C-alpha cells in the first residue's frame, strides 16, 4: 500500500518550487492559487529569501500549494494512493488529495489559518525547538519542567518543544541528557495554547466549508486515527492548531494498515527521514524535484493495490 505524505511548516527552503515550474500546467495552477490566496506563490517559491517564507501567513499556503501541484503532476487522473497523511498544515493538502476538500477550499482555509496563527504568534514572543535523542521520558519531563509543550511528537527520537522564547532559552541552558537541540525556522509556538485565538478565528469560517467523505484512508494528527467523515476531519484540523501533532501515532497507524511505501510531496525529506528510522522496511521516495517523478511512479506500480 502506498501512503502519500505532505510535510509541514519548516520544511520550506528558498527556491524549492523553481524546478516544478518546468512542468507544463504547474505555473498556471500556481497563478490561479495565487489569486485564491492573495499571495504571489510563484515568487515566494522561487526568488523569495528564507526570512520571507518563514512568515507563517506565507509559508502555510505555499506548502499546501506545492504539495497539491506535485500530487497533480504525479497522479493526474490515476487512482488515489491507498492512504494519505499530512504533518500539521500538510493535513490540508492531504484532505484535498483524499477528496474531502476542493483545492480552493483548502487554500482559503490555509490562508486564514496562516493569518490567524501569525496574529496569535505576534501576541507573545514564542518559538519551537527540536529535541533530538535522549531518553523519551526524560525529554518530556524536561520540556514540562520548563513550562513548554511537546508540540510535535514525531517518533524516531524527535520531539519538538514549544513555548515562549525565554522558556526555550532556559531549556537550551538545561537540556535533557544526551539530547541535541535545534531551533526551528517557525514564527511561533504552533500546536500549543498560544494558538487558541487562531482556533476561534478558523472555526468561524470552517463551518461554511463544503466537504465530502474521504475516498481513501485519511490519517489525522491528533491520534493517528483514520477519519471517515468530512465534517469531522475539518473540525479536527481546526482544533489541531492548538493541540500537539502526534506523528508517532500516525506512524503506528501506517504500520497497522500495512503501508509498504511512502512518497513524500515537496518540499520533501523530513517525513521520509522519520520513516527511515521508524519504518525501515517501508520503501520511500522524497519527491524533491521533478527528477524524482520516475522513481515515485515506479514505486506506485510496485506497491499500489
88 given a catalytic annotation: yes
Residue 89 to residue 75: CA distance in whole angstroms = 21
Annotated active-site residue in 88, 146, 242, 303:
88
Cα separation, 101 vs 191, in Å, equals 22
The contacts of residue 301 (CB under 8 Å, 6+ apart) are none
With contact defined as beta carbons under 8 Å apart, do 160 and 129 qualify?
yes
Comparing CA positions, the residue from 99, 95, 58, 81 lying closest to residue 185 is 58
CB neighbour list of residue 58: distance below 8 Å, 6 or more residues apart: 39, 44, 48, 52, 114
The DSSP line for 94-160 is: HHHHTTSS-HHHHHHHHHHHHHHHHHHHHHS-EEEEEEEES-HHHHHHHHHHTT-EEEEEEETTEEE
3-state DSSP call for residue 83? Answer: strand
Catalytic residue among 87, 146, 191, 194: 191
Q: Is the bond preceding residue 244 a cis peptide, omega within 30 degrees?
A: no
> Measured between alpha carbons, how far is 98 from 81 in angstroms, rounded to an integer?
9
- 60: its cell numbers: 502555510
Give the strand order in the sheet containing 126-133. 149-155, 158-164, 126-133, 179-183
The span from the first CA to the last CA of the chain, in angstroms, equals 6
Q: What does the alpha-carbon distance between residue 261 and residue 299 come to, in Å, rounded to a whole number? A: 7
Q: Is 146 a catalytic residue?
A: no
Catalytic residues: 88, 191
Amino acid at each position: 500500500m502506498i501512503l502519500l505524505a505532505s510535510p509541514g511548516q519548516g520544511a520550506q527552503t528558498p527556491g524549492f518550487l523553481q524546478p516544478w515550474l518546468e512542468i507544463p500546467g504547474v505555473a498556471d495552477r500556481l497563478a490561479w492559487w495565487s489569486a485564491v490566496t492573495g499571495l504571489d506563490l510563484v515568487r515566494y517559491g522561487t526568488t523569495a529569501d528564507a526570512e520571507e517564507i518563514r512568515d507563517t501567513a506565507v509559508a502555510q499556503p505555499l506548502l499546501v500549494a506545492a504539495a497539491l501541484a506535485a500530487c497533480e503532476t504525479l497522479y493526474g487522473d490515476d487512482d488515489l494512493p491507498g492512504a494519505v497523511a499530512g504533518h500539521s498544515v500538510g493535513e490540508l493538502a492531504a484532505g484535498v488529495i483524499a477528496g474531502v476538500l476542493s483545492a480552493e477550499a483548502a487554500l482559503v482555509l490555509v490562508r486564514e489559518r496562516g493569518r490567524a496563527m501569525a496574529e496569535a504568534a505576534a501576541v507573545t514572543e514564542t518559538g519551537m525547538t527540536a529535541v533530538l535523542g535522549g531518553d523519551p521520558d526524560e525529554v518530556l519531563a524536561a520540556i514540562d519542567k520548563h513550562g513548554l509543550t511537546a508540540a510535535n511528537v514525531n517518533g524516531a527520537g524527535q520531539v519538538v518543544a514549544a513555548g515562549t522564547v525565554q522558556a526555550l532559552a532556559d531549556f537550551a541552558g538545561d537540556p535533557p541528557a544526551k539530547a541535541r537541540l535545534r531551533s526551528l525556522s517557525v514564527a511561533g509556538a504552533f500546536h500549543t495554547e498560544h494558538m487558541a485565538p487562531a482556533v476561534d478565528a478558523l472555526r468561524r469560517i470552517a463551518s461554511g466549508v463544503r466537504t465530502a467523505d474521504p475516498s481513501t484512508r485519511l490519517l489525522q494528527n491528533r491520534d493517528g486515527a483514520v477519519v471517515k467523515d468530512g465534517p469531522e476531519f475539518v473540525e479536527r484540523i481546526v482544533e489541531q492548531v492548538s493541540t500537539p501533532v502526534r506523528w508517532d501515532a500516525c506512524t503506528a497507524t501506517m504500520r497497522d494498515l500495512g503501508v509498504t511505501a511512502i512518497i513524500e510531496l515537496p518540499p520533501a525529506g523530513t517525513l521520509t527521514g522519520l520513516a527511515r528510522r521508524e519504518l525501515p522496511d517501508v520503501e520511500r521516495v522524497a519527491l524533491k524535484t521533478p527528477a524524482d517523478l520516475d522513481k515515485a511512479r515506479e514505486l506506485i506500480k510496485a506497491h499500489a493495490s
